[in-house]
């Protein structure tokens, strides 16, 4: 399809109408970094089903922005922001759907799962993204998931580097977490609203887990106009509040919670929490760091300590941590307050609600409430669906039982009679037809034995009981059963996991003897003679020391293993900016990108195209700089560059 599209490129190359004054404001609305809130309302007014007329050869800027660019922005949000019902983004949902569809029971290589997912769930994007999504869903180190829906079998990354240390998808395996099906119940599978892609049933609009998973594992996402940031909460807290709602009681306030985190999370103010690590002061000079705040990775903290060391703020530090355990020993010249706390906020919790509308939630309790009512309705639907299904099964069984009775007592004769005649008898005896009576006539002859007859009667009885039992249960009863079952399993897994962590943490590491400095040593380091000058390195000095360190590192050109993280520094405004276009990298990535694209747009290449346009607009000044133009006055030029993108595509398709 794409080949065909590009072979007829002249037909698809459009030119922009001359730019008008209102257009300038629209361009600003679309691209200005400071106008996220304006973009929120711009997107809010979007009418689904709006498309750019593809037959027109001339496109006005306003049509382009309001009918084409907005489609990209909407898609950007849907893929980046989760649903309040299952806490999943479409990519993650496709992964889960595919695992369920495959009835994943034994471990599978991540790279292989990626292939399966893109095939089964119409995933139209790059494999790298999907790999990262799967790895993310399976991570279980402190600060990642509270309940990882997939299992990490192999190196899925650790808190050393915040998961960036994961191995390649070729080397690692995954499987469904046994808890996953307890949360995403099989009984709900038939009542979900499945989406359709080219007449193939793919993942549902959203799953309906038994607790709001968006709070359990949190979420982070960046879209257009909107972004979201939801911290993790304790599944047991969430569960308890769901029960409270069922009892019509007031819910308890909740603070964020991270599995196996040993520090503390305290409410500082409305929607703001302080996250503290653990430092133990061993003696005047030595302190031991036993835990870092959530999201502060061990490697990052090491670099922070290294900086302090280089700047002469601390004397030494030693590391005894493992993948799971944080453990630094810091030796300072004096009591030095180590930075060991961060904050978490609940001020930007954005989700799509059950109606598919993007919405900001102020508190976790508001999220639970909204989840609750929709989920409750799904339990009612589940009950109705299940009753109907049991009734059908029972009906079939009863037909079979009656059929056998009639054969045995001779009122229905089968032996040596033509089928048509038997079928007429069956009709007059009012048997249900289902599959043209094959379910009756196709029964084994052994069904007529005493044992089988008794067994069939028993099955009928069981079905009747099942029907009766279920019809007496309320939606609340069904939900409670699910919650109880999950809670028991979760606590068991949780305790095992915690025991493993405790064992790891309490394992004695070979610590050096606590070191006390002799007077001579202190004098040697200048602590005694000039203690005041050391303990208060003022800002100026710190900076100069830092500079020194940096230049030294550069001069050596041989950074040792404990090298200081050299922060990227853009040229300052007073210096002549060194503007550079990474032409090769960009062209390469763009060239590759036009090959694939998602089908949610009217034309192939739109997703990529919009990204390129954004890139061009944002970096416009840079590009012109290469041609010796220092500043561009005419915004229209931007869109002429866009036109050259089309020429570029044409060029690509002409390469033999």
Partner DNA sequence: GTTTCCGCTAC
Partner DNA sequence: AGACGTAGCGGAAAC
What residues make contact with DNA under the rule CB under 7 A?
31, 33, 35-37, 39-40, 76, 79-80, 89-92, 124-126, 128-130, 132-133, 136, 162-163, 168, 220-227, 229, 272, 295, 297, 304, 339, 342-343, 345, 347-348, 567-570, 582, 585, 589, 593, 596-598, 607-608, 611, 614-615, 618-619
Phi, psi (5° rounding) for residue 328? -115, 150
Question: Any idea what DSSP says for residue 251?
Answer: P
Closest CA to 314 of 557, 510, 545: 545
Q: How many Å separate Cα 268 from the centre of its chain? A: 27
The Cα–Cα gap between 77 and 81 comes to 6
Q: Select 380 or 635, whichever has its Cβ closest to DNA.
A: 635
**CB distance 404 to 448 below 8 Å:** yes
Q: Select 32 or 471, whichever has its Cβ closest to DNA.
A: 32
CB of residue 258 to DNA, shortest distance in Å: 13
Q: Select 223 or 527, whichever has its Cβ closest to DNA.
A: 223
DSSP strand pairing (58-59 vs 15-16):
parallel
Q: Which two tokens stand for residue 329?
A: 């020993």
CB of residue 328 to DNA, shortest distance in Å: 16
Residue 36 CB partners (closer than 8 Å, separation 6+): 225, 226
Residue 641 CB partners (closer than 8 Å, separation 6+): 616, 620, 623
Q: Select 304 or 385, whichever has its Cβ closest to DNA.
A: 304
CB of residue 105 to DNA, shortest distance in Å: 25
CB of residue 562 to DNA, shortest distance in Å: 17
CB of residue 43 to DNA, shortest distance in Å: 9
Q: Select 268 or 474, whichever has its Cβ closest to DNA.
A: 268
Catalytic residue among 51, 171, 194, 373: 171
Q: Select 311 or 354, whichever has its Cβ closest to DNA.
A: 311
Compute, in degrees rounded to 10, the torsion defined by CA atoms 150, 154, 160, 162: -30
CB of residue 611 to DNA, shortest distance in Å: 5
CB of residue 162 to DNA, shortest distance in Å: 4
Q: Select 77 or 399, whichever has its Cβ closest to DNA.
A: 77
Q: Select 561 or 569, whichever has its Cβ closest to DNA.
A: 569
CB of residue 468 to DNA, shortest distance in Å: 45
**CB distance 352 to 78 below 8 Å:** yes
3-state secondary structure (DSSP) of residue 629? coil
Give the Cβ contact number of residue 577 at 10 Å. Answer: 12
Q: Where are the alpha helices (DSSP H) in 64-195?
A: 70-80, 90-101, 110-120, 127-138, 180-183
CB of residue 164 to DNA, shortest distance in Å: 7
The Cα–Cα gap between 268 and 517 comes to 39
Q: Which two tokens stand for residue 164?
A: 């960036």
CB of residue 595 to DNA, shortest distance in Å: 8
CB of residue 436 to DNA, shortest distance in Å: 46
What length is written for the chain?
656
3-state secondary structure (DSSP) of residue 654? helix
Q: Which two tokens stand for residue 323?
A: 């993948």
Q: Select 103 or 269, whichever has its Cβ closest to DNA.
A: 269
Phi, psi (5° rounding) for residue 539? -55, -45
Closest CA to 451 of 392, 411, 404, 414: 404
> For residue 387, what is the enclosing H or E element?
helix 364-408
Cα 540 to Cα 167, 304, 308: the distances in Å are 42, 18, 15
Q: Select 357 or 430, whichever has its Cβ closest to DNA.
A: 357
* 396-429 burial: b if 16+ Cβ within 10 Å, else e: bbbbbebbbebbeeeebeeeeeeeeebbebbeee
The Cα–Cα gap between 216 and 87 comes to 9
Tell me the sheet residues that pair with 220.
Answer: 229
Closest CA to 238 of 487, 563, 591: 487
**CB distance 578 to 571 below 8 Å:** yes
Q: Select 169 or 175, whichever has its Cβ closest to DNA.
A: 169
The Cα–Cα gap between 456 and 397 comes to 7
Q: Select 33 or 510, whichever has its Cβ closest to DNA.
A: 33
The Cα–Cα gap between 583 and 588 comes to 8
DSSP strand pairing (341-345 vs 108-109):
unpaired
Active site residue 257: no
CB of residue 223 to DNA, shortest distance in Å: 6
The Cα–Cα gap between 413 and 425 comes to 9
**Residues designated catalytic:** 171
């Amino acid at each position: 399809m794409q080949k065909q599209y590009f072979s007829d490129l002249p037909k698809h190359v459009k030119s922009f109408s001359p730019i008008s004054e209102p257009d300038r404001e629209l361009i600003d609305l679309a691209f200005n970094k400071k106008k996220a809130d304006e973009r929120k309302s711009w997107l809010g007014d979007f009418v689904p089903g709006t498309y750019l007329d593809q037959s027109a050869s001339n496109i006005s800027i306003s049509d382009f922005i309001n009918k084409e660019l907005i489609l990209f922005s909407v898609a950007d949000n849907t893929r980046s922001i989760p649903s309040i019902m299952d806490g999943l983004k479409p990519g993650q949902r496709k992964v889960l759907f595919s695992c369920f569809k495959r009835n994943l029971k034994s471990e599978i290589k991540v790279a292989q799962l990626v292939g399966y997912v893109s095939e089964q769930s119409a995933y139209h994007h790059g494999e790298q993204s999907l790999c990262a999504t799967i790895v993310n869903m399976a991570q279980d180190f402190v600060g990642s998931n509270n309940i990882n829906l997939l299992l990490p079998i192999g190196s899925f990354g650790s808190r050393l580097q915040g998961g960036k240390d994961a191995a390649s998808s070729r080397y690692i395996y995954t499987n469904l977490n046994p808890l996953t099906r307890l949360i995403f119940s099989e009984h709900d599978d038939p009542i979900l609203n499945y989406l359709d892609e080219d007449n193939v049933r793919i993942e549902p609009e959203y799953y309906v887990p038994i607790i709001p998973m968006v709070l359990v594992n949190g979420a982070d996402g960046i879209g257009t106009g909107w972004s979201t940031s939801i911290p993790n909460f304790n599944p047991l807290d969430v569960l308890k509040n769901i029960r409270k709602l069922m009892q019509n009681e007031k819910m308890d306030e909740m603070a964020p919670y991270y599995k196996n985190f040993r520090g503390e999370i305290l409410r500082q103010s409305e929607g703001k929490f302080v996250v503290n690590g653990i430092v133990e002061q061993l003696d005047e000079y030595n302190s031991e760091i036993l835990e870092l705040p959530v999201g502060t990775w061990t490697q990052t903290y090491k670099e922070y300590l290294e900086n302090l060391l280089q700047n002469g703020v601390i004397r030494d530090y030693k590391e005894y941590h493992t993948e799971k355990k944080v453990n630094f020993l810091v030796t300072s010249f004096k009591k030095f307050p180590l930075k060991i706390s961060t904050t978490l906020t609940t001020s930007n919790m954005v989700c799509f609600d059950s109606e598919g509308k993007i919405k900001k939630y102020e508190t976790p309790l508001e999220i639970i409430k909204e989840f609750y009512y929709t989920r409750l309705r799904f339990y009612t639907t589940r009950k109705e669906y299940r009753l109907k299904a049991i009734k059908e099964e029972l009906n079939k069984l009863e037909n079979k039982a009656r059929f056998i009775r009639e054969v045995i007592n001779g009122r229905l004769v089968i032996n040596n009679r033509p089928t048509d005649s038997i079928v007429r008898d069956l009709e007059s005896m009012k048997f249900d037809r289902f599959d043209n009576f094959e379910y009756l006539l196709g029964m084994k002859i052994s069904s007529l034995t005493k044992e089988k007859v008794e067994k069939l009667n028993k099955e009928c009885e069981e079905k009747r009981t099942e029907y009766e039992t279920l019809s007496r249960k309320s939606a609340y009863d069904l939900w409670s059963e699910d919650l109880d079952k999950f809670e028991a399993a979760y606590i068991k897994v949780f305790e095992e996991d915690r025991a493993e962590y405790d064992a790891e943490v309490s394992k004695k590491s070979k610590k050096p003897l606590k070191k006390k400095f002799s007077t001579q040593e202190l004098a040697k380091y200048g602590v005694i003679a000039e203690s005041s000058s050391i303990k208060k390195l003022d800002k100026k000095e710190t900076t100069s020391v830092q500079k020194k360190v940096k230049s030294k590192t550069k001069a050596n050109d041989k950074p040792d293993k404990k090298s200081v993280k050299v922060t990227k520094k853009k040229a300052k405004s007073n210096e002549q900016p060194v503007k550079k276009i990474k032409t090769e990298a960009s062209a390469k990535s763009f060239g590759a990108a036009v090959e694939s694209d998602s089908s949610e747009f009217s034309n192939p290449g739109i997703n990529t195209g919009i990204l390129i346009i954004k890139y061009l607009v944002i970096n416009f000044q840079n590009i012109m700089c290469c041609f010796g133009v220092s500043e561009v006055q005419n915004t229209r030029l931007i869109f002429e560059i866009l036109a050259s993108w089309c020429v570029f595509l044409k060029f690509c398709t002409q390469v033999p």
